[in-house]
Homo-oligomer: A and B are copies of this chain.
Amino acid sequence: MNRKSRLPSTPTSDEAAAPGRFLDGAAIRHLPFFSGFDAKVCDDIARAARVKRVPTGETIFAQGAVPDSVFMVLSGRFKAVQVTPEGGEVVVRLPSAGDLIGHVSVFSDTPYPATPVAVTESLILTWTPAAFTDLMLNHPQLSLAVIRNMGTYIQEAHARLREVSTEKVERRIAHAILRLAEQAGTPVKGGVEISFAITRQDIGLMTGATLHTVSRTLSAWERQGIIDGGRQHLVLRDAKALRRISEASTAPSRSR
């Protein structure tokens, strides 16, 4: 833990949003979450927030803790890790700029269900539950945005649920890498690079496979020139081939 990413941290409006400082709407208006918002509303929302820096490898809070804040990623990226009582782990999602964190727990008054770990130097916004609720009551736009945001989580979760229960490991890994490239890929000569440190273990936790299986699969793909791997490092070279694998009707099984 706490290793420094070798990749340049993604700087996003760091000028306007220094840790500890209070903000104005300009610092957040560019986030997809706030697209279409009135400038005045953005101001109100930003003014109620505090900015906090989260270095790579650090957590925002621990799974099981009693919720005391709502968070939003301003820049950087996190992985939300959920641990089962028996010690099993899952990566449930990878929130990045504009994604809310902890809101579900705050509104349903349940313990935080996962631990968000920064996989890149990150900045987050924090609100007290009371302040955020006030904002929602005063700005119905905000409620709708929260609902939209939660809707995408639900669809993502259902999509992954469907994958993990109907598809074989190889295809799940293919899907996961395509999604990573899409959500966190930076174009690079001859491919798309995943812009943060990710281990085989992480991919395993995202797909419900062991790191061994992931390693074997990636090795095979590397031999075929589809990807280019390395220590905590991944470049997608042939997206078309990977997409073919992810959709391969290798499926002799209808309606599992």
- A residues lining the B interface (CB < 8 Å): 82, 84-90, 92, 103-105, 107-108, 110, 113-114, 133, 136-137, 140, 143-144, 146-148, 150-155, 157-158, 160-162, 164-167, 204-205, 207-208, 210, 247, 249, 251, 253-256
Contacts and interface: CB of A to CB of B under 8 A. Distances in A.
A108 B210 contact: no
Q: Considering the complex of A and B, which 6 residue pairs feature the smallest CB-CB distances, nearest first?
A: A165-B208, A88-B166, A157-B157, A143-B143, A87-B254, A104-B151
A133 B143 CA distance: 11
A154 B157 contact: yes
B157 A255 contact: no
Given A108-B152, A150-B154, A154-B154, 18 more contacts: A84-B167, A85-B247, A86-B166, A87-B255, A88-B253, A89-B256, A108-B148, A113-B155, A136-B140, A140-B143, A143-B143, A143-B144, A147-B150, A157-B157, A160-B161, A161-B161, A164-B165, A165-B208
B166 A164 contact: no
A208 B164 contact: yes
